[in-house]
Structure 1
Amino acid sequence: MKRANLRERPGPGLGPFLVVSFVGAWLTMVPLWVGGWRRTSAAQETPPLAALCMMLMMLVPALTAFGLTARRRGAREAVRVLGLLRSTPWRHELRCVAAALTVPLGLTAAGLAVSTLAGWYEPAHLPGPGAVVSLVLSAVVSVPLYFGEELGWQGYMLPRLVQRGRMRGLLLGGAIWGAWHAPMTALGGSYPGHAVLLGIPVAVVTAMLLGTVIAAVRLATGSVWAAVAAHVSLNEFALPLTRHVSGTLVDPLLAGPLSIATWPATALAVAGVWLAYRRRGGGDGWVDGFGGEAGSGAAGSISP
């Protein structure tokens, strides 16, 4: 594959991307608002209509990113610059994906330890083989949906945000990610049974921390697929495993990867990212984050 200039910077388009992505997210939730559906308990099952709306919402960032890029560069070029084609050797991609899968699980484990000590969580047993197989199958089937988000956030938005400074761009990207979830959070998606005025701020802080870590994984590996793997691990493994291991009903606000109990571990991870960047010095955030030996291929493939 042709190697592009590492110092080629992404073009404009952040504003339109955010407007379309946010408006699209709210529009996909209209059927649920009109139907009066709301998740009021963690034990409540997600009906088919709600699941369909959430899946469509997850595809909005990718469709927006592809549409804006194709409008400027053409459809064939959009496939290349957004990372739809493999841009690094398979071994490198697999190592990145494997490492990314462990990050949310490690943060969740640390958070569950805090929740257990605080009396908010009761671990009871390990998940059986059947449960693990079910989770793996669900994760594999759901990969296109998470790619739908991360192609937009990490393939399109992040390259534009890091021009404002690496840590600033990472933190801002996480906050944007959290705010984008507001239509679903307001319906009790992440924190059922809690007031909207509590759920949305908690969701934004949680997403800012977790989103920063996921974006840092993307920068460190040079792989959009690593960010996809981290997101899959968060939603398809860390969240359900929290419920499977517990002997009682779990409040997502107090236990699990999206809980306030996980904030200290995630904040330490964010601080570690900041210290790592400080130790590397004040080099160019775009070249350092998307170029170099590990990410040179990715730099040419995701920089519209």
Structure 2
Amino acid sequence: MNPTNPAGRPSPGLVPFLAISFVGAWVTMIPLWLDGLRRTSAEQEATPLAALCMILMMLVPALTAFGLTARRRGPREAVRILGLTRATPWRHEARSVAVALLIPLGLTACGLALATLAGWYTPGRLPGPATITPLVLSALVSVPLYFGEELGWQGYLLPRLLRHGRIRGLLISGAVWGAWHVPMTALGGSYPGHPVLLGIPVAVVTAMLLGTVISAVRLSTGSVWAAVAAHLSLNEFALPLTSDVSADLVDPLLAGPLSVSTWPAGALAVLVVRLGHRRVHSRGRRETGESWDGAAGGQAAGSASGWVKRTGLSRDRA
């Protein structure tokens, strides 16, 4: 445990990061609230104003994280600490990115199978080049926006939450991610046509599950690149493909990557992460003969601990 950060005291820089990120999210959505915009149907496309506000909102976490870190450590060191530089050999990094792109698609496919059995989704056709090509082009253009979020969540927030235990830190990170989306969710962004009091808790649970998987990808590489790939795949491929291959209008609450039908697959993925974590620590204990305490407030062990140390977080007081 870091002696400069006693149990019960927030990790250095955590409170200002959360405060600025959440306030910034609400501020960027003010024009939409003043405009009276509310998404009431899945057929309703985003207006230019809504697109601009969402772009600004996505950039808030990264700008906050970079500003707080650079203030204490300098811009060049901030790039390394936040995980923007490649942390593993490029071949491993490329494989990690490729796997990260497939994970949201796999979880979505499992969810759509369940939604189809429940009568919530009607598969139509397989996507062809005419469908995939525009999505790929959109994804390439949108890459900086996903760095805008993940530099904040995975580069800055996650290592501070890992001090509360790895699995707990991952789940808290996902919950924070979901709560941060409330200004957009309340406008019907994710679940158009549904009450806010239903959409917000569904969004938070979904974010806890998907966010845990994305964060686990981040921990496996020590770089935010794979986490960005997973987030990009979720928004730029899994979401639109759900509608593109459907024969009917899709209710995002019931079918798709953000729906309740993906919860079983997401929960199973979290369980796999948990079991993998326990296996790593069990092996480590046998090899070193040391005990490991995974209680809240303990320092994350194994690869997570090594990554937190490599970021220089113990010296970062931003």
Residue type of the alignment partner of 1:235 = N
Q: Specify the alignment match of 1:146 in structure 2.
A: 146
Give ranges in structure 1 of 5+ residues lacking alignment: 1-8
Q: Specify the alignment match of 1:300 in structure 2.
A: 310
Cα distance in 2, alignment partners of residues 285 and 234 from structure 1 = 27
**1:58 and 2:58 equivalent?**
yes
Q: Specify the alignment match of 1:289 in structure 2.
A: 304
5 Å-filtered alignment, 1:70-89, equals 70-89=70-89
Q: Deviations over 1:109-135 (max 9, x none)?
A: 000000000000000101121110101
Cα distance in 2, alignment partners of residues 151 and 204 from structure 1 = 20
Contact 1:62 1:150 in 2 (8 A): yes
Contact 2:39 2:193 in 1 (8 A): yes
**1:191 and 2:201 equivalent?**
no
Name the SS for the 1:53 alignment partner: helix
Contact 1:213 1:270 in 2 (8 A): yes
Q: Specify the alignment match of 2:206 in structure 1.
A: 206
Q: Deviations over 1:204-243 (max 9, x none)?
A: 0000010011111111222211100000010000000000
Name the SS for the 1:257 alignment partner: coil
Contact 1:222 1:299 in 2 (8 A): no
Q: Specify the alignment match of 2:220 in structure 1.
A: 220
Contact 1:162 1:286 in 2 (8 A): no
Give ranges in structure 2 of 5+ residues lacking alignment: 282-291, 294-298
Cα distance in 1, alignment partners of residues 90 and 243 from structure 2 = 34
Name the SS for the 2:53 alignment partner: helix
Cα distance in 1, alignment partners of residues 217 and 49 from structure 2 = 33
Q: Specify the alignment match of 1:3 in structure 2.
A: none
Q: Specify the alignment match of 1:6 in structure 2.
A: none
Q: Which runs of 4 or more aligned residues in structure 1 lie more than 6 Å from their structure 2 counterparts after TM superposition?
A: none
Contact 1:156 1:302 in 2 (8 A): no
Q: Deviations over 1:145-176 (max 9, x none)?
A: 00110000000000000011000000000000
* Structure 1 position 84, deviation (Å): 2.7
Select between 195-204 and 214-223 the one with higher mean Cα deviation: 214-223
* Structure 1 position 53, deviation (Å): 0.1
Q: Deviations over 1:28-84 (max 9, x none)?
A: 000000000011100001100000000100000000000100111122221222123
Cα distance in 2, alignment partners of residues 163 and 290 from structure 1 = 9
Q: Specify the alignment match of 1:170 in structure 2.
A: 170
Cα distance in 2, alignment partners of residues 175 and 262 from structure 1 = 16
Q: Specify the alignment match of 1:274 in structure 2.
A: 274
Contact 1:70 1:77 in 2 (8 A): yes
Q: Specify the alignment match of 2:160 in structure 1.
A: 160
Cα distance in 2, alignment partners of residues 41 and 299 from structure 1 = 47
- TM-aligned CA distance change 1:185 to 1:289, over 3 Å: same
Q: Specify the alignment match of 2:287 in structure 1.
A: none
Cα distance in 2, alignment partners of residues 159 and 169 from structure 1 = 8
Residue type of the alignment partner of 1:176 = V
Residue type of the alignment partner of 1:97 = V
* Structure 1 position 301, deviation (Å): 4.7
Contact 2:213 2:269 in 1 (8 A): yes
The root-mean-square deviation of aligned C-alpha atoms, in Å, is: 1.7
Select between 72-81 and 62-71 the one with higher mean Cα deviation: 72-81
Q: Deviations over 1:175-220 (max 9, x none)?
A: 0000000000000000000000000000000000100111111112
- TM-aligned CA distance change 1:114 to 1:204, over 3 Å: same
* Structure 1 position 89, deviation (Å): 2.0
Select between 125-134 and 10-19 the one with higher mean Cα deviation: 10-19
Name the SS for the 1:29 alignment partner: helix
